[in-house]
Structure 1
Amino acid sequence: MSKQIMLVVLLITTFFSCAFAQNDSVLQHASLETCVQYALKHQPLLQQSAIDEQTTEYSIKSKLADWYPQLNLDYNVQHNFQLPTSYFNSNYIKQGIDNTSSALFSVTQTIFNKDVLLAKRSAVDVRKQSKENTESDKINVAVNVSKAFYNVLLSQKQIELLNDDIKRLETSFKNAYFQYQGGIVDKIDYKRATISLNNSKAQLKSQQELLKSKIAILKNAMGYAADNSFELQYDTTAMANEVVLDTLQTLNYSNRIEYQQLVTVKRLQEANLQYYKWNYLPSVSAFGNYNFNYLNTDFGKLYNQNFPNSFMGLKFSFPIFQGNKRVYQTKAAELAIKRVDWDFVQLKNNINTQYTQALTNYKSNLNDYYNLKENLALATEVYNTIQLQYKAGIKTYLEVITAETDLRSAQVNYTNALYNVLAAKIDVQQALGTIKY
């Protein structure tokens, strides 16, 4: 009975594990936030960044390990076929013994060494630099996914508008055809309706093919498997309410991840300068050795007796003259810091330019959005009025086609403006450094 219970528990656990794994890799309903979160977890670039962080951590630990006592063992066994000969007091004398063996245990402890001291002092900044690189990648991935998401929505919305347009054109086509059959109008209206309907169907096919390409781009930005599908989830009303952005925000350079990365680079360069200044100080280490020595003419009795020796001491190492190498290294490190200072100047100029362009583009798109929103309302009202007048025989079919064209253009332009202003808003937020993940 207990085995059956364990089997049932195992099956249930396996089922939920598989279900969780599937849900983790496949999105059923993908909102913008879930798409971004999925990308942050699955995008190959971010997976590599995570690996780089781990690699950096192990590299730091490997360098800091030099602060610990270093233990070593050297062991050898030697059999001499011919003993070495020396000349002493006018006689040739063979020295040594047929069989020797030794085991040397040594321990060294670094007291001062510029390499390990640099590793210790720069460890925090090296870790920080690695995390900042990951943060930068996250921001770029989030921006790319957001824009790709809006591009897919734009195509989907255009397809939806074209489907609605085709329905209207089919209705107009039927009305024109029946009026032509009834002898109310000539066949020109009927043919015009056919041309407009065919044009919309051709545009629909083009948008459907374009949508496939945009979905592929979104999947690539997310790190989503090409074979898996998802359905985008969005609220047009909520998106329309999100177009407004505070354009009076003060640009703060320190909010930008690029600025933070440059600050870390400068700190590392300053640590590098200090490292070269330490070249004028000696390296100091303590050491101790214990040597086991075994000597015997009979190899079978080699390890019967030990003749050990041991010692300990301090080692100072100081290069006296290296052809001014240390001077040149110090000067080069100082120039590297000055170069980073100019990187700050260039970065600030680039940020100012990026922010100005992004803000200008956003304001322009926002103005277009409001104007085109009003145009859409007017075009809808005009189209509905002319349709009624056409059915009543007051207006010509040419006016219906014109109104239909204006309505379709207003719908497409409004949709484009909505997603353009949302994408422009992302650029402003990126320029301000307010996108955080």
Structure 2
Amino acid sequence: MKAMSKMIQVGLVLSLITFFFNGQVQAQEVVQLTLEESIKYALENNVEAKNAQLEVLISKGVIGENRATGLPQINSTLELTKNIQPPLIILPAEAGGAIGGGGDDPGMGSPDDITVIPFAVNYQSSLTVSVEQMIFNGSYFIGLKAAKTLKALTEFDKEKTEADIIEATKKAYFTVLINKERKELVSANLIRIKELLKETEALYSEGFVEKLDVSRVKVQLNNLQSEFDKVEAAEEISKQVLKVQIGMPVNLEIDLGQSIADIHSLSELESLLSNPGYRRVEVDQINKNLDLAKLDLKNNQIQYMPDIAAFGTFQRVTGAQRFNTLGDPDRWFSSSFAGLRLNIPIFDGLRKSYKVQQNRVQIRQLENQKHYLEENIELERYQSNITLRNAIRTLNVQEENRELALEVFEMTKIKYQEGVGSNLEVVEADSALKEAETNYFSALYDALIAKVDLEKALGIL
């Protein structure tokens, strides 16, 4: 018993150690992601991307389903029947005697003037094989073409979904980068203000500054600490949003393998302004919808034509009064027939005519939507171009303001350290620098988002 107890204790300790080290490995697992890797991961793991790929597979199945309609349709039926109360034929008594029938009703006594004859044996069985082959049906060929058009439409839908995923992934990635840069900047500001506070407290202890000067720096430090906490939370939230967007498990830790400097290029932003744009998948989508509507119109028009099919049936039947003799070879008899079927539509209450009218109206609606879409694409390109142009201009201004504010802060700090400036000027300069840095990152984020919007408008995501 003691040995058993000791083994259990050792097993428990080993399990705890294994769990601890597994937890440590999982906690330390960090996924490095560049922008391109994030996009690739999203296209493979995002739920909408997966469903778009499955829709393409479904459309391939629809093509096969429509093609199968034109192949031979073969069916087989095996039946076994036990006639509990066999069907009866009632004849005059004279006729029954002439054909040798009996005069007794199985269920009751029969009158003298009629003869009741069972019309079936106790057991019956049959094996039937039927074949039908379509020879001509106009809807079949249109259906094949429509299925292929539907497959092309699902391909364009997949492309549109992927473009939307790339757009959302880029914006989420840029958001994480901006928050990461802001966090590093606020952290640097905290270090700077802490040094200033230490210097001010030293000057206060020597009697060179007042208690008010120390309080001002402490207020500035508290505000920066609060801002750091907010930016840190914003960075974590933006990472979670990015993981959800690309379809990554939220329990994994990610670290972006790029910085703003790796992605942000002023020359690249400016080169987009002269790009004329390319094909937009939305136009391809509406064109395929137009093709489907026209095929539907043709299908309803061709319903006025007859269709031809060939058919044939082979049957083996048997019957017996006793079940054990039902399978005797000499009891099976064959029958078969074949033929052609011509179905000629004559009048359907104008149902097809009304369908044709609806198709023509739908085609006009889609043509109107196409015209509206093309105009909106041009407007979107124009607006995105103007937005990016303004964002670049604002970014340049805010970058210059940031550099000037930093220069003012450094000069003010030097003056303060040399005793020719006030503590209030340093605090105000720091506040101005912080505001300039916030404005700069806001302008940088707007420029990156405007870049993505213009890429989408140009069709180059």
Equivalent pairs: percent with the same residue? 23
Question: Deviation at 1:245?
Answer: 3.4
Q: Tell me what 1:337 maps to.
A: 363
Give, in angstroms, the shift of residue 298 of structure 1: 4.4
Alignment of 1:11-90 (within 5 A): 28-80=31-83, 81-87=85-91
2:248 counterpart of 1:244: no
Superposed CA deviations along residues 140-181 of structure 1, whole A, max 9, x for unmatched, are: 111111101111111111111111111111111122222222
**Which residue identity does 1:400 align to in structure 2?**
V
**Deviation at residue 90 of structure 1 after TM alignment:** 5.2
Residue segments in structure 1 that go unaligned for 5+ positions in a row:
1-21
After TM superposition, the structure 1 stretch with the greater mean CA deviation from structure 2, 320-329 or 76-85, is 76-85
The reply to whether residue 406 of structure 1 matches residue 432 of structure 2 is yes
Q: 1:87: how far off?
A: 3.6
CA displacement at 1:272 relative to structure 2: 0.4
> 1-side partners of 2:53 and 2:91: how far apart?
67
CA distance in 1, matches of 2:123, 2:262: 89
Q: Which runs of 5+ in 2 are unaligned?
A: 1-24, 97-114
Deviation at residue 232 of structure 1 after TM alignment: 1.0
Q: Any idea what the Cα deviations from partners look like across 1:245-273, whole Å, max 9, x if unmatched? A: 32122245xx1111111011001111100
Partners of 1:222 and 1:160 lie apart in 2 by: 25
Distance 1:47 1:186 in 2: 66
What residue number does 2:174 align with? 150
Equivalent position of 1:178 in the other structure: 202
Aligned AA (2:243) = K
Question: CA 1:86/1:66 → structure 2, altered by over 3 Å: closer, same or farther?
Answer: farther
Alignment size in residue pairs: 410
The answer for the alignment partner of 1:324 in structure 2 is 350
Report the secondary structure of 1:74's partner residue.
Answer: strand
Question: How far does residue 329 in structure 1 lie from its aligned partner after superposition?
Answer: 0.8
The structure having more radius of gyration, on CA atoms, is 2
SS at match of 2:346: coil
Is residue 129–residue 261 contact of structure 1 (8 Å, CA) maintained in 2? yes
What does residue 312 of structure 1 align with? 338
**What TM-score do the two structures reach when normalised by structure 2?**
0.84
Distance in 1 between residues matched to 2:46 and 2:435, nearest whole Å: 37
Which one is further off, 242-251 or 322-331? 242-251
Verify: 1:203 aligned to 2:207, yes or no. Answer: no
> Do residues 395 (structure 1) and 421 (structure 2) align?
yes
Counterpart code for 1:66: T
The 8 Å contact of residues 83 and 98 in structure 1, kept in 2 or not, is answered as no
Aligned residue number for residue 141 of structure 1: 165
Report what 1:234 is aligned to: 258
TM-score (norm 1): 0.88
Q: Which residue pairs with 2:239 in the alignment?
A: 215
**How far does residue 119 in structure 1 lie from its aligned partner after superposition?**
2.4
Q: Alignment RMSD, CA only?
A: 2.1
Moved more, 330-339 or 111-120: 111-120
Q: In the alignment, which of 91, 97, 122 is matched to residue 146 of structure 2?
A: 122
User: Is the partner of 1:73 in helix, strand or coil?
Assistant: strand
Deviations 1:49-108, CA, capped at 9 Å, x for gaps:
222222222233222211111111012122334342144785546344443221111111
CA distance in 1, matches of 2:205, 2:133: 105
Note if 1:346 corresponds to 2:369.
no
What is the identity, as a one-letter code, of the residue corresponding to 1:170?
K
Aligned residue for 2:293?
A: 269
- The answer (yes or no) to whether the contact 1:161–1:412 under 8 Å persists in 2 is no
Give the 3 Å change call, closer, same or farther, for CA 78–338 of structure 1 in structure 2. Answer: same
Of residues 387-396 and 91-100 in structure 1, the stretch that sits farther from structure 2 once superposed is 91-100
Which piece of structure 1 moves more, 398-407 or 425-434? 398-407
Partner amino acid for 1:107? V
Contact 1:245 1:425 in 2 (8 A): no
